[in-house]
Structure 1
């Protein structure tokens, strides 16, 4: 598996991967526009055939605070450590920038617990985190679980 920064040519594959999970209700949808705007945030896992097997992004929110988001692994590639590798690489990238706290909003808390994340209340996150929530179809009834790794 090859891990690299996402490029423009990856957008459609990322969009479809995220859309499939969003349809199942286990991930929030991302528009193509959002994917283009956050392209520099993302890392992809590419298999030996050049197919995108996974994606994840590290979005800088505020002073030394970042969010792991848009994390998805192709269903046929799950349980192979791809998601964990993406998260570890995103955290390492954040550390190079000086990020001290990484959080996520997830429907899969067990996965993030294995990577050292702890469940917190959403109220423990700074208000700056919620600026994009207004565009979410679940706003204001967010049912994602907030987790943090310090």
Structure 2
């Protein structure tokens, strides 16, 4: 399903972009979009195979010509919990609402999956705060769930748990959580 959206153009009228589920053919563009953010350690670098393995988690924004201008993923971590991952917007499209529309779509996806909470690890605290996320300390799960999550080999889960082995990845980032029951639906 595609949804047309309008973002403010840099010097002219609004430009349209469309959100849709990512396809395997988008993976190289997703990797290329993320690469500059990964080079500056804003996002985690991933191997190409990792993007293919997770392609079903991604939503992409494409402009009128079909060029990928943004992406984001929703990764389920537990029965009531998911993580927003790899939310990136092409620099030429930043400030035009693409990131907010992608995040809104991911949160709607989480609601459809009947999840209650969404986690993110980010440098973009004002952006996520504006969308209902709040910084967290500790790990807001029961001891039983914590013990189960410890079995995961996924770095995102380790970041949620605030484990020492991922501290180099998390330096300067803020761990944030949104309770979907507290957010307005679009």
Q: Could you tell me the TM-score, scaled by structure 1's length?
A: 0.91
Say if 1:73 and 1:83, in contact at 8 Å, map to a contact too: yes
Larger Rg: 1 or 2?
A: 2
- Aligned residue among 18, 21, 45 for 2:61: 45
Q: Unpaired segments of 5 or more residues in structure 2?
A: 1-16, 160-164, 180-186
Kindly provide the CA deviation profile for residues 91-142 of structure 1, in whole angstroms up to 9, marking residues without a partner as x: 1011011010011011111110110100112x22454287422999x82332
RMSD (Å) for aligned C-alpha atoms:
2.0
Which deviations, in whole Å up to 9, do the C-alpha atoms of 1:26-69 show, x marking residues without a partner?
A: 11112211111111100000001110000000000001100000
Q: Aligned pair count?
A: 148
> How much does 1:145 deviate?
1.0
Which residue number corresponds to residue 146 of structure 1? Answer: 175
- 2-side partners of 1:74 and 1:148: how far apart? 25
Specify the alignment match of 1:133 in structure 2: 155
1:105 & 1:125 partners in 2: Cα distance? 14
Runs of 4 or more, structure 1, over 4 Å off, are none
User: 2:71 maps to what in 1?
Assistant: 55
Tell me, in whole angstroms, the C-alpha distance in 2 between the residues paired with 1:53 and 1:96.
Answer: 25
Q: Which residue of 1 aligns with 2:97?
A: 81
Structure 1 equivalent of residue 9 of structure 2: none
Structure 1 position 118 matched with structure 2 position 134: yes
CA distance in 2, matches of 1:49, 1:42: 20
1:105 pairs with one of 105, 117, 121: 121
- Rounded to whole Å, the distance in 2 between the matches of 1:54 and 1:11 is 12
Structure 1 position 93 matched with structure 2 position 109: yes
